[in-house]
């Protein structure tokens, strides 16, 4: 059995920089036609020159593959209209991080008073630049996303013409918000579709499944699966694949982030096939994103066949999700 995916897109991807970029970019560019690239480098991507330079480094790391990096800026409340008008020619979104909430998010937003952010957000709304958001407070770990929902509601009401992307939603309450507000959209990761907190800490500690937002309850996973498998038009795939070297994950202060890129398409095929929803995978992994972001990706076909795939135990110093396990699907041409 085989299926063909047309121009698959990853709408939330971390490629890092320097040696890590050179090592991991190929896992995305080999099987995706494009990806929204996160701007949380050190220092973050905050200028047009930063965007251009980072995109050139990505292009160099992915040369030979059909792959377009869609760039983003790190949100600042000091951006003015003229700057954003020019930036729109080079970016697809601006990413808002609460300060210190995840990897390399220092310098993010600490004052969530709408008036404090109004200048940038009004300009973005007028210029039709989407706002991408890491939606967590600094409260109790299992309740951070739900608590942030109040801010999503304020944003959606205050800026009804602003397209707001709730990134990597992991909570059933976010699914309900998505249905309630017309200008809210969302990405869902593979790992939040597959695992719960039990998989991370229920038995032995699994540092390579530790991420932010953390995997949550069974009922949350069920709500995410239901809406993703349905092909719902306001949901799109975003891996939030976030590589860290093995030694950084397996340390006394393990870094948050799951490296899922090497298994994304086979694992998604397995999930959709198991639930009898393979016909909706194209919408989840490409078509919805094209409409939400108003993009026409590069033409690329990925053939996926129902044939066992043994996940590598390590990829260029980074341990992938499901390392050493067998999947039932593989991308055609993938070696055993």
For residues 211 and 269, the answer to whether their CB atoms sit within 8 Å is no
For residues 223 and 276, the answer to whether their CB atoms sit within 8 Å is no
DSSP state of 312: P
Question: Does residue 82 have an active-site annotation?
Answer: no
Q: What is the DSSP string of 194-208?
A: H--HIIIIISS--GG
Contacts with 188 (C-beta within 8 Å, 6 or more apart), sequence order: 168, 169, 224, 227, 228, 235, 236, 237, 238
Half-sphere exposure of 100 (CA within 13 A, CB side): 4
Number of CB atoms found within 10 A of residue 55's CB: 18
SS (H, E, C) 43-101: CCCCCHHHHHHHHHHHHHHCCCCCCEEECEEECCCCCCHHHHHHHCCCCCEEEECECCC
Burial class (CB in 10 A: 0-12, 13-18, 19+), 285: buried
> Of 171, 220, 240, 287, which is the active-site residue?
240
Helix (H, G, I), strand (E, B) or coil at 256: coil
Active site residues: 240
């Amino acid at each position: 059995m085989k299926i063909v995916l047309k121009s698959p897109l990853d709408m939330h991807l971390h490629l890092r920089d320097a040696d890590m970029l050179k090592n991991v970019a190929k896992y995305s560019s080999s099987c995706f036609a494009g990806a929204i690239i996160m701007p949380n480098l050190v220092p973050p991507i905050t200028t047009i020159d930063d965007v251009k330079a980072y995109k050139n480094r990505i292009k160099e790391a992915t040369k030979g593959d059909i792959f377009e990096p869609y760039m983003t800026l790190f949100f600042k409340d000091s951006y003015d209209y003229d700057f954003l008008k020019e930036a729109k020619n080079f970016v697809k979104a601006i990413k808002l991080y609460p300060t210190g909430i995840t990897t390399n998010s220092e310098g993010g937003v600490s004052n969530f008073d709408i008036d404090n952010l109004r200048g940038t957000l009004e300009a973005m709304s007028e210029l039709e630049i989407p706002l991408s958001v890491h939606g967590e407070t600094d409260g109790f770990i299992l309740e951070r996303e739900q608590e942030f929902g109040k801010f999503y509601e304020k944003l959606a009401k205050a800026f009804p013409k602003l397209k707001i992307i709730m990134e990597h939603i992991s909570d059933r309450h976010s699914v309900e918000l998505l249905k309630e507000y017309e200008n809210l959209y969302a990405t869902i990761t593979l790992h939040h579709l597959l695992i719960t907190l039990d998989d991370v800490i229920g038995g032995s500690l699994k540092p390579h499944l530790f991420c932010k937002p953390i995997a949550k309850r069974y009922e949350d996973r069920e709500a995410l699966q239901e809406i993703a498998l349905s092909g719902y038009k306001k949901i799109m795939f975003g891996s939030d694949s976030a590589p860290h070297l093995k030694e950084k994950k397996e340390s006394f202060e393990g870094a948050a982030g799951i490296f899922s890129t090497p298994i994304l398409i086979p694992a998604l095929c397995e999930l959709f096939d198991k639930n009898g929803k393979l016909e909706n995978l194209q919408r989840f992994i490409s078509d919805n994103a094209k409409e939400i972001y108003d993009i026409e990706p590069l033409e690329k076909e990925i053939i996926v066949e129902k044939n066992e795939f043994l996940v590598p135990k390590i990829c260029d110093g980074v341990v992938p999700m499901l390392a050493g396990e067998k999947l039932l699907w593989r991308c055609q041409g993938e070696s055993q």
